[in-house]
Amino acid sequence: MELSAPRGFDLWRRLRHEPTAAFGLAILLIFIPLALCAPLISPYDPLFQNISASLTPPSADYWLGTDKLGRDLLSRMLYGARISLWVGTAVVLSAGMIGTLAGLLAGYLRGWVDEVLMRVTDIFFAFPSLILAMAIAGALGPSLRNALIALVVVTWPVYARLIRGQVLSLREQEFVSAARASGSQHRRIILRHLLPNTLAPLLVQASFDVGTTILSVAGLSFIGFGAQPPLPEWGVMISEGRNYITTQWWLTGVPAMGILLLVAAFNLFGDGLRDILDPRLRR
Amino acid sequence: MLQRNLRRSGSYLLAMLLVLGILAGCAAPAAQTGSEASSSETAAEPAASDEVTRANTLIFAADLTDLISLDPAVAYEFGGIQVVGSIYETLVGFEPGNAEIQPLLAESWDVAEDGDMWVLTFHLNPNAKFASGNPVTAQDVLYSWSRAIDLNMSPAFLFTDVSQLTKENMAAVDDQTFEVKLPKSVSPPVFLSIISFSLAAVVEQAVVEANAGDDMGSSWLNDNSAGSGAYVLDAWDRSVSVTLNANPNYWGAAPAMKRVVMQNTPELANLQAAIETGDADIVQDLGPEQVEVLQGNPDIQLVSGQSTGLAYIGLNATEPPLDNPDVREAIRYAINYDELIALLKGNAQLVQEFIPIGFLGHTGENPFTQDIEKSKELLAKAGVAEGTEIDAMVPVGTGPGGIEWSTLAAKIQNDLAQVGLVLNLQQLQSSELLNVYRAQEGKAVFMSWGPDFPDPDGNATPFTNYEARSLAWRNEWDDAKAIEMSKAAAAEQDPTKRIELYKELTEYVQHNGPYVLLYQPTTTFGLRSNVHGFVYDPVDTPSITFALITKE
Amino acid sequence: MTRFIIRRLAGLIFVMLGVSTMTFMLAQLVPVDPAANALGQNARPEQIEAYRTKMGLDRPVVEQYLTYLRRLLSGDLGESIRTRRAVLLDLRDYLPATIELAMASLVVSLLVGIPLGMWAAINRNQWNDGFARVLALLGGSLPVFYVGLLLLGLFYRQLQWLPGPGRLDSTLNPPADITGLFTVDSLLTGNWPVFQNSLAHLILPAITLGAFSTAVLVRMTRSAMLEVLAQDYVRTANAKGLSYRTVVWRHVLKNAMPPVLTTIGIIFGSLLSGAVLTETIFNWPGLGRYATTSVTSLDFPAVMGVTLVAAFIYPLVNTIVDIGYRFIDPRIQSE
Q: Which of B347, B396, B423 to mutate to test the interface with A (most CBs of A within 10 A)?
A: B396
Nearest CA in chain C to A247: C153
Q: For all residues of chain C together, what is the average pLDDT?
A: 84
Q: Does B33 touch chain C (CB under 8 A)?
A: yes
User: Which chains touch A (3+ CB pairs under 8 A)?
Assistant: B, C
- CATH number belonging to domain A71-281: 1.10.3720.10
User: Nearest CA of chain B to the CA of A219: how many Å?
Assistant: 15
Residue of A141, A215, A224 with shortest CB distance to C143: A215
CB A39 within 8 A of CB A232: no
Nearest CA in chain C to A136: C26
pLDDT at B330 over 80: yes
CB–CB contact B427 A142 (8 Å): yes
Boundary residue ending a domain (B150, B183, B205): B205
pLDDT at A79 over 90: yes
In chain B, residues 143-182 whose CB comes closer than 8 Å to chain A: none
CB–CB contact B427 A54 (8 Å): no
CB–CB contact A243 B413 (8 Å): no
pLDDT in tens, C122-133: 888 888 888 998
pLDDT in tens, C220-248: 888 888 888 877 777 777 777 777 777 77
Tell me whether residue A262 is exposed, middle or buried, using C-beta atoms within 10 angstroms of its C-beta: 0 to 12, 13 to 18, 19 or more: buried
ipTM for this model: 0.87
Residues pairing with B425 in the sheet: B392
Residue B212 within any structural domain of the chain: no
Give the domains, in start order, of chain C with CATH numbers.
34-76 (no CATH), 90-328 (1.10.3720.10)
Q: Does B168 touch chain C (CB under 8 A)?
A: no
CB A260 within 8 A of CB C141: yes
**Of B50-64, B106-120, B420-434, which gets the smallest average pLDDT?**
B420-434
HSE-CB at A213 with a 13 A cutoff on CA atoms is 33
Per CB-CB distance under 8 Å, the chain A contacts of C286 are: none
Q: Does C240 touch chain B (CB under 8 A)?
A: no
Sequence-separated contacts (24+) of C152-158 with Cβ below 8 Å: C152/B269, C152/B270, C152/B273, C152/C204, C152/C281, C152/C282, C153/A245, C153/A246, C153/B269, C155/C204, C156/B273, C156/B277, C156/C204, C157/A246, C157/B269, C157/B272, C157/B273, C157/B276, C157/B277
**pLDDT of the residue at B42:** 38
- Domain check: are B26 and B165 in the same one? no
Specify the DSSP class assigned to residue B296: T
Pairwise pLDDT comparison (B540 vs C106), residue with the higher score: C106
Q: Which residues in B443-456 are b (16+ Cβ under 10 Å) and which e?
A: bbbbbbbbbbbbbb
Q: For all residues of chain A together, what is the average pLDDT?
A: 86
What are the φ and ψ backbone dihedral angles of C131, each rounded to 5 degrees? -60, -50
**Of A196-200, C125-129, C289-293, which gets the smallest average pLDDT?**
A196-200
Specify the DSSP class assigned to residue B134: P
Angle of the A234-241 helix axis to the C144-151 helix axis, nearest 10 = 20
Residue B517 within any structural domain of the chain: yes
CB–CB contact B426 A240 (8 Å): no
Boundary residue ending a domain (B205, B227, B245): B205
Region C65-86: mean pLDDT is: 87
pLDDT in tens, B263-308: 999 888 889 999 999 999 999 999 888 898 999 899 999 999 888 8
pLDDT at A183 over 80: no
**pLDDT of the residue at C8:** 79
**pLDDT of the residue at C330:** 54
In chain B, residues 191-210 whose CB comes closer than 8 Å to chain C: none
CB A216 within 8 A of CB A136: no
Residue B367 within any structural domain of the chain: yes
Grouping H, G, I as helix, E, B as strand and the rest as coil, residue B174 is strand
In chain B, residues 236-275 whose CB comes closer than 8 Å to chain A: 267-269, 272
Specify the DSSP class assigned to residue B199: G
The domain that holds B62 is classified in CATH as 3.40.190.10
The domain that holds B96 is classified in CATH as 3.90.76.10
**pLDDT of the residue at A132:** 86
Region B229-250: mean pLDDT is: 93
**Of A12-16, A59-63, C61-65, C83-87, which gets the smallest average pLDDT?**
A12-16
- Domain check: are B510 and B543 in the same one? no
Task: Return d(Cα B155, Cα B149) in angstroms, integer.
Answer: 9
The domain containing residue B436 runs over which residues? 310-522
Of B28, B52, B40, the C-alpha closest to C196 is B40
pLDDT in tens, C133-160: 899 999 999 999 999 999 998 999 888 8
Angle of the C300-328 helix axis to the C2-29 helix axis, nearest 10 = 160
Residue B210 within any structural domain of the chain: no
Nearest CA in chain A to B433: A141
Beta carbon pairs, A and B, within 8 Å: 66
Pairwise pLDDT comparison (C183 vs C253), residue with the higher score: C183
- Domain check: are B96 and B73 in the same one? no
Instruction: Determine how β-strand B117-124 pairs with β-strand B177-183.
Output: antiparallel
Residue of C42, C84, C289 with shortest CB distance to B239: C289
CB B109 within 8 A of CB B101: no
Nearest CA in chain A to B426: A228
CB–CB contact A247 B426 (8 Å): no
For chain B, percent of residues with pLDDT exceeding 90: 63
Per CB-CB distance under 8 Å, the chain A contacts of B272 are: 246
**pLDDT of the residue at A53:** 86
Write the Ramachandran bin of A224: left for phi over 0, alpha for psi from -120 to 50, otherwise beta: left
Tell me whether residue B63 is exposed, middle or buried, using C-beta atoms within 10 angstroms of its C-beta: 0 to 12, 13 to 18, 19 or more: buried
Per CB-CB distance under 8 Å, the chain A contacts of C226 are: 283
Residue B353 within any structural domain of the chain: yes
CB B312 within 8 A of CB B399: no
Q: Does B68 touch chain A (CB under 8 A)?
A: no
Specify the DSSP class assigned to residue B548: G
Helix (H) or strand (E) holding B3: helix B2-42
**Chain mean position to CA B249:** 28
Grouping H, G, I as helix, E, B as strand and the rest as coil, residue B326 is helix
Region A246-256: mean pLDDT is: 91
In chain C, residues 7-36 whose CB comes closer than 8 Å to chain B: 32-33, 36
pLDDT at B509 over 60: yes
Four-residue CA torsion sign, C284, C287, C290, C295? negative
Range from A219-223, B130-134, B211-215, C170-174 that averages highest in pLDDT: B130-134
pLDDT at C35 over 90: no
Region C25-36: mean pLDDT is: 78
pLDDT in tens, B165-202: 999 999 999 999 999 999 988 889 889 999 999 999 99
In chain B, residues 419-448 whose CB comes closer than 8 Å to chain A: 425-429
**pLDDT of the residue at C267:** 80
Specify the DSSP class assigned to residue B154: G
Q: For all residues of chain B together, what is the average pLDDT?
A: 87
CB C4 within 8 A of CB C334: yes
The domain that holds B496 is classified in CATH as 3.10.105.10
Residue C324: partners with Cβ closer than 8 Å, 6 or more residues away: B15
User: Nearest CA of chain C to the CA of A184: how many Å?
Assistant: 30
CB B425 within 8 A of CB B413: yes
Q: How confident is the model at residue B26 (pLDDT cuts 50, 70, 90)?
A: very low
Task: Return d(Cα B478, Cα B485) in angstroms, integer.
Answer: 13
- Domain check: are B249 and B109 in the same one? no
pLDDT at A167 over 50: yes
CB B420 within 8 A of CB A243: no
CB B140 within 8 A of CB B131: no
Specify the DSSP class assigned to residue B46: P
Number of domains in chain B: 3
Beta-strand ranges (E) seen in chain C are none
- Domain check: are B293 and B317 in the same one? no
Per CB-CB distance under 8 Å, the chain C contacts of A128 are: 269-270, 272-273, 310-311, 314
Q: How confident is the model at residue C184 (pLDDT cuts 50, 70, 90)?
A: very high
